[in-house]
């Protein structure tokens, strides 16, 4: 699939592209393109934002700037999903990640300062997505969250089997995964559950299923 990120700070994505699983699928199942609004802005001196009408602090990303970026990139062939990253959008969860990972191409639009001119969200985007009910300073971290979450759902991103029964997966009915332990078997008196050292795989599977159910019911009772 292709993910196109529109941003004022494309260099912020350097770290992400070197990390697994994004690095694993880049150039294979994932094409990641980074676009700077400044490169296509129709305004002088790389201007992309402006003062808000009605007054108030902060700058607002201009609709003509975003339209120019989309026109230059796609012409009339826009991806099915053009997503504004906004704290006011649909909250991201694993279901939405799976939905987006099934698309052939997505554009992710980030903003900074006061955010988008509302006409961008209303007329140029198909979706608005929030990564949680809090406000960050820009859409770059939310875009990276989405790129990472989508990349790990692509074929070949993860080691065989490791992405199938993760927390929130269909295999766990959307619930939480069981707890993991590794060496040493005892540390400061904190012991690994005996069953995991037993070598009895049927008992281990049953224990893991119980733990997963217990954690998931706790999660459901809080939400």
Ligand X SMILES: C[S@@+](CC[C@H](N)C(=O)[O-])C[C@H]1O[C@@H](n2cnc3c(N)ncnc32)[C@H](O)[C@@H]1O
* Chain positions contacting ligand X, by CB under 6 A: 85-88, 110-112, 114-116, 130-132, 134-139, 142
Residue among 24 and 49 whose Cβ is closer to ligand X = 49
Closest CB to ligand X among 30 and 60? 60
Contacts for 69-75 with beta carbons within 8 Å, 24 or more apart?
A: 69/6, 69/35, 69/37, 69/39, 69/40, 69/41, 70/6, 70/107, 70/124, 71/40, 72/40, 73/4, 73/35, 73/40, 73/107, 74/107
For ligand X, the closer CB: 79 or 139: 139
Nearest Cα neighbor of 82 from 67, 93, 94 is: 67
- The CB-of-39 to ligand X minimum distance in angstroms stands at 19
Q: Tell me if 154 sits within 8 A of 29, measured CB to CB.
A: yes
Least gap, CB of 18 to ligand X (angstroms): 23
- Secondary element (H or E) of residue 2: strand 2-7
CB of 197 to ligand X, least distance (A): 42
- Buried/exposed code over 31-40 (b: 16+ C-beta within 10 A; e: otherwise): ebebbbbbeb
We find the least distance from the C-beta atom of residue 58 to ligand X, in angstroms, to be 7
CA distance 10 to 184: 42
Q: Which residue is nearest to ligand X (CB)?
A: 139
**Shortest Cβ 10–ligand X spacing (Å):** 15
CA distance 203 to 220: 26
Between 144 and 196, CB nearer to ligand X: 144
Q: Provide the minimum distance between the beta carbon of 139 and ligand X in the complex, in angstroms, as a whole number.
A: 3
Nearer to ligand X, 114 or 211 (CB): 114
Judged by beta carbon, residue 24 or residue 41, the one nearer ligand X is 41
Contact in structure between 19 and 147 (CB atoms under 8 Å):
no
């Amino acid at each position: 699939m292709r993910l196109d990120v529109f941003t004022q700070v494309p260099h912020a994505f350097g770290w992400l592209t070197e990390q697994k699983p994004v690095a694993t699928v880049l150039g294979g199942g994932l094409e990641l393109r980074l676009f700077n609004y400044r490169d296509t802005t129709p305004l002088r001196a790389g201007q992309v934002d402006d003062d808000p009408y009605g007054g108030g602090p902060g700058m607002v990303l201009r609709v003509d700037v975003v339209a120019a970026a989309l026109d230059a990139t796609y012409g009339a062939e826009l991806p099915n999903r053009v997503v504004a990253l906004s704290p006011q959008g649909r909250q991201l969860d694993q279901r939405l990640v799976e939905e987006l990972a099934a698309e052939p191409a997505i554009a992710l639009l980030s903003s900074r300062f006061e955010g988008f001119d509302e006409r961008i969200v209303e007329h140029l985007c198909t979706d608005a997505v929030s990564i949680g009910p809090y406000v960050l300073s820009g859409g770059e971290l939310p875009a990276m969250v989405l790129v990472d979450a989508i990349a790990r759902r692509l074929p070949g991103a993860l080691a065989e089997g490791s992405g199938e029964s993760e927390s929130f997966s269909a295999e766990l009915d959307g619930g939480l995964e069981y707890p993991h332990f590794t060496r040493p078997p005892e540390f400061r008196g904190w012991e690994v559950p005996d069953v995991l050292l037993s070598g009895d795989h049927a008992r281990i599977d049953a224990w893991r299923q119980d733990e997963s159910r217990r954690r998931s019911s706790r999660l459901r009772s809080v939400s």
